[in-house]
């Protein structure tokens, strides 16, 4: 009995710091966001007026917020699909094919992940520059005439953000999938090869099912992180412009809370984004749920 009590005490002491930190820096701030969304106040004013659900009612009539949510959903869908597609294909190639300099390619693909968003945004801003940018210069070289595409204009700004976000994320998930694929026994591929299965068939019938648990976990993580990363890229590259064309939910929340002195309204946006993230994670987990395969 004493031994069990001592063991429980040790577990409590080990878990207590993490629980306290999580409560102080996650649970309490989240509750406070929901509480502040029910008030009308500015960011730096101590006075506040209770308005109930008026901030939420106002949200669904705000065309700028609706546009920012549409941009957020666009980034989540497009960036997730393309990033995971390329990450899986590159991981399969570098794991199964005998390519010289595999470690070199692994490092090259992973480098964008260790760069800060500010650095990546600066790199792509230089690439997208209308007059002297690398992209327009390359297009001018091939077309033999001056090309001056506004890559950060209203029509192209979301595409430009998508490319930058995909470039930043591919390497990280590729390395994770390579680790999972490396644990698959070679004998499984050899036996299916004898039965006449090609590389593509093996990829869909063996590789994907056996690393599905990893894909499912990283998919949920990536969707949530994309919401945060979208804010960072928009803040560093476009500031939501031009004319709000690249505004996303969190950048719009930031502007309302700290620029327009509508702190309560900004917190309502934050609360809605939190609920949206939670619901989307639950939906993805439900849709991707399947019995794990073992070998």
Read off the pLDDT band of 17 (50, 70, 90).
confident
User: Cβ of 17: how many Cβ atoms within 10 Å?
Assistant: 9
Residues 218-245: pLDDT tens digits? 988 898 889 999 999 999 999 888 888 9
Query: What per-residue confidence (pLDDT) applies to 3?
Result: 59
Tell whether the model's pLDDT for residue 93 goes beyond 70: yes
Tell whether the model's pLDDT for residue 5 goes beyond 70: no
What DSSP state is assigned to residue 52? T
Query: What per-residue confidence (pLDDT) applies to 4?
Result: 65
Residue that the structure tokens 């801003």 belong to: 125
Q: Mention every residue, 6+ apart, whose C-beta is less than 8 A from residue 231.
A: 248, 249, 250, 251, 254
Q: Is the dihedral of CA 183, 185, 186, 189 positive or negative?
A: negative
In contact, 228 and 250? CB cutoff 8 Å: yes
What's the token pair of residue 184?
A: 């698959």
Helix (H, G, I), strand (E, B) or coil at 39: strand
Residues 159-216: pLDDT tens digits? 999 999 999 999 999 988 998 888 888 888 888 888 788 888 888 888 888 899 889 8
Report d(CA 25, CA 31) in Å as an integer.
11
Report d(CA 101, CA 27) in Å as an integer.
46
Helix (H, G, I), strand (E, B) or coil at 150: coil
Read off the pLDDT band of 124 (50, 70, 90).
very high
Alpha helices in the chain (DSSP H): 2-22, 28-36, 54-59, 63-96, 102-114, 117-128, 134-143, 157-182, 186-194, 199-202, 208-210, 212-237, 249-258, 263-287
Looking at the DSSP bridge assignments, the partners of residue 49 are: 40
In contact, 34 and 268? CB cutoff 8 Å: no
Report d(CA 121, CA 149) in Å as an integer.
18
Tell whether the model's pLDDT for residue 149 goes beyond 80: yes
Distances (CA, A) of 135 to 127, 168, 219, 239: 6, 18, 31, 21
What's the token pair of residue 235?
A: 């803040």
pTM to 2 decimal places: 0.89
């Amino acid at each position: 009995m004493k031994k069990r009590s001592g063991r429980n005490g040790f577990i409590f002491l080990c878990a207590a710091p993490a629980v306290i930190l999580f409560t102080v820096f996650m649970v309490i701030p989240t509750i406070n966001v929901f509480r502040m969304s029910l008030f009308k106040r500015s960011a730096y004013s101590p006075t506040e007026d209770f308005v109930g659900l008026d901030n939420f009612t106002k949200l669904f009539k705000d065309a700028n917020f609706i546009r920012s949510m549409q941009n957020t959903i666009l980034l989540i869908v497009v960036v997730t699909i393309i990033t995971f597609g390329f990450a899986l294909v590159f991981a399969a190639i570098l794991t199964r094919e005998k390519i010289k300099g595999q470690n070199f390619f692994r490092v090259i693909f992973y480098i964008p992940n260790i760069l800060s968003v500010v650095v990546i945004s600066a790199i792509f801003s230089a690439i997208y520059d209308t007059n002297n940018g690398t992209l327009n210069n390359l297009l001018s070289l091939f077309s033999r005439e001056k090309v001056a595409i506004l890559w950060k204009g209203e029509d192209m700004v979301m595409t430009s953000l998508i490319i930058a976000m995909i470039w930043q994320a591919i390497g990280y998930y590729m390395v994770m999938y390579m680790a999972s694929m490396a644990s698959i026994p070679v004998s499984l591929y050899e036996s299916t090869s004898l039965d006449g299965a090609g590389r593509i068939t093996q990829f869909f019938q063996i590789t994907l099912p056996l690393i599905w648990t990893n894909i499912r976990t990283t998919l949920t993580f990536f969707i949530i992180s994309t919401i945060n990363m979208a804010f960072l890229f928009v803040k560093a590259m476009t500031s939501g412009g031009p004319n709000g064309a690249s505004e996303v939910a969190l950048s719009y929340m930031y502007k309302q809370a700290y620029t327009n002195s509508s702190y309560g309204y900004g917190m309502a946006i934050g609360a809605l984004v939190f609920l949206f993230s939670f619901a989307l994670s639950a939906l993805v987990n439900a849709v991707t749920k399947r019995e794990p395969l073992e070998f």
